Structure 1
């Protein structure tokens, strides 16, 4: 990304925070998921803190629309806090969370409407999500407050949507994370972040093309180095045989191949084979030079032994 541009996480949140949420069921899901995953609970209040002012404002609007509640918003230097009080409202929201996520039986997200599933994923990312820059790595996290004991249920719900996350502890948080590009793309689709998805897919294609080119270049470089090393070894063997007047003891066809190699150290096997009389193919030239290395080394060994 260019210097001074917003992070990819920020750009996703900038998109999601503007998503409409007009149905009561979706407002309830979005509020419950955000408060349960990222809220700090005491007996008399709930505090929610974010570095994105529009997220705090969105939650305040949803609370007003759904419950007629006006929370206290405080703007700090870098963070915005939202406080819900008094205790009767705290208890009411606790009950709403329990009714939605803490039922006795298994929660089957297939029974939820598509808009509520989208509201869940949107809310989780807005409240506690982050993602690495796609050019560097495919890694998305949901950092869920440990004391709220929400991570296990959320992991199960994501799994039902085909988003198989890993879970790790980090300080006061339980962190759910995705490390596959396709899972990250699926999350963006299901959360309704379509503009961010297009950006992500574009960056993913660029990254994969760059990696593919690098693999080809590295392979070509390795092949060139191997050819250079082989040519140097064979040329050195030919010089050693010449210095001891042993080269004439080689079979005529092998000697001819050795001489062509010695005189043309930069040519490929195919190019060397074309200089032979009669011409040889790549495999034929390679076989003849291998015979040269074997026979030449044996001659040197007998001479020096």
Structure 2
């Protein structure tokens, strides 16, 4: 089961007050409900591919309105051929839509969320929970990017949903995609806040655990990469220094170098793998890292001049 499916299953098991149940069901009907006519009377069909959500919609409809809806199951003919669960309300449709604050007269949907429906903070949370159950998705935290979205049709309603999300300071954004309007979150912290708002606490803990582990892995990788880069830099520098010293030894002879250069040259040839700090600790007087580097640069300058044909005197 995907992370999004697990999250939605958790949400369908939450208990809530009647006012919150009304707000949650209103969001699900507004986003997934469709009005069809049969024998001249309206019928409300609420569709979902998630059996737990269908059960939730059926239960809330019965609790709030005493209506025993029909539940139909169909198989999609395209793509994955998943089951589609249809919760069908064949009567009292206009009354139910009005109580859900979705329509005022008839069955024409309102273009925004009714303020009376989400007057309380708990109802705002419930409405967002219903919207996520109906049309939301969230990436698995193990994936390369964090992303949570709710896709709706109609820009005015999308703007209304965006405003509701941002009442909780979630920094939600809105884009248009394939004739739908998508309200989305991209920041891991904000997705965690959203999961907390809608009551998905188990999903929140899993998301946070994975995010912490990913952060630790990334930090370890950065440290390893940094150490590897420094090691490669040290090795390349040491190889270059040994080559320069070998040239000086061949052309001049290390015994003819000044004592301070002779000492560092001999140690570098003997210990090519150690860094400058360790090299300095082995020299008489415990020479600093910058002091060792200065002496090695002197040897490098001598080697460069020898390559250019400069004739050094035998004794320096």
Aligned length: 294
Contact kept? 1:37, 1:150, Cα under 8 Å: no
Matched, 1:274 2:281: yes
- What is the match of residue 93 of structure 1? 97
How far is 1:299 from its partner?
Answer: 4.1
- What is the match of residue 207 of structure 1? 214
Residues 1:60 and 1:297: Cα distance change in structure 2 (over 3 Å) = same
Deviates more, 1:94-103 or 1:190-199: 94-103
Q: Distance in 1 between matches of 2:124 and 2:282?
A: 70
3-state SS, counterpart of residue 163 of structure 1: coil
Match of 1:82 among 87, 94, 97: 87
Question: How do residues 186-201 of structure 1 correspond to structure 2 at under 5 angstroms?
Answer: 186-201=193-208
- What is the match of residue 27 of structure 2? 33
> TM-score, normalization: structure 2?
0.82
Matched, 1:289 2:296: yes
- What is the match of residue 156 of structure 1? 163
Contact kept? 1:250, 1:295, Cα under 8 Å: no
Question: How do residues 112-127 of structure 1 correspond to structure 2 at under 5 angstroms?
Answer: 112-127=119-134
3-state SS, counterpart of residue 102 of structure 2: helix
Residues 1:187 and 1:108: Cα distance change in structure 2 (over 3 Å) = farther
Residues 1:148 and 1:245: Cα distance change in structure 2 (over 3 Å) = closer
Contact kept? 1:241, 1:300, Cα under 8 Å: no
3-state SS, counterpart of residue 303 of structure 1: coil
Q: Distance in 1 between matches of 2:43 and 2:239?
A: 78
RMSD (Å) for aligned C-alpha atoms: 2.9
Q: Distance in 1 between matches of 2:94 and 2:275?
A: 78
Unaligned runs of 5+ in 1: 1-5
Matched, 1:50 2:48: yes
Q: Distance in 1 between matches of 2:12 and 2:34?
A: 21
Matched, 1:142 2:150: yes
3-state SS, counterpart of residue 130 of structure 1: strand
Q: Distance in 2 between matches of 1:16 and 1:201?
A: 18
Residues 1:103 and 1:260: Cα distance change in structure 2 (over 3 Å) = closer
Matched, 1:8 2:10: no
How far is 1:193 from its partner?
Answer: 1.3
Residues 1:35 and 1:103: Cα distance change in structure 2 (over 3 Å) = closer
Deviates more, 1:177-186 or 1:58-67: 58-67
Deviates more, 1:160-169 or 1:184-193: 160-169
Unaligned runs of 5+ in 2: 76-82, 312-316
> TM-score, normalization: structure 1?
0.84
Q: Distance in 2 between matches of 1:292 and 1:15?
A: 70
Structure 1: which 4+ aligned runs deviate by more than 6 Å? Answer: none
Residues 1:103 and 1:139: Cα distance change in structure 2 (over 3 Å) = closer
Contact kept? 1:15, 1:193, Cα under 8 Å: yes
Q: Tell me which protein shows more helix as a share of its residues.
A: 1
Residues 1:93 and 1:265: Cα distance change in structure 2 (over 3 Å) = same
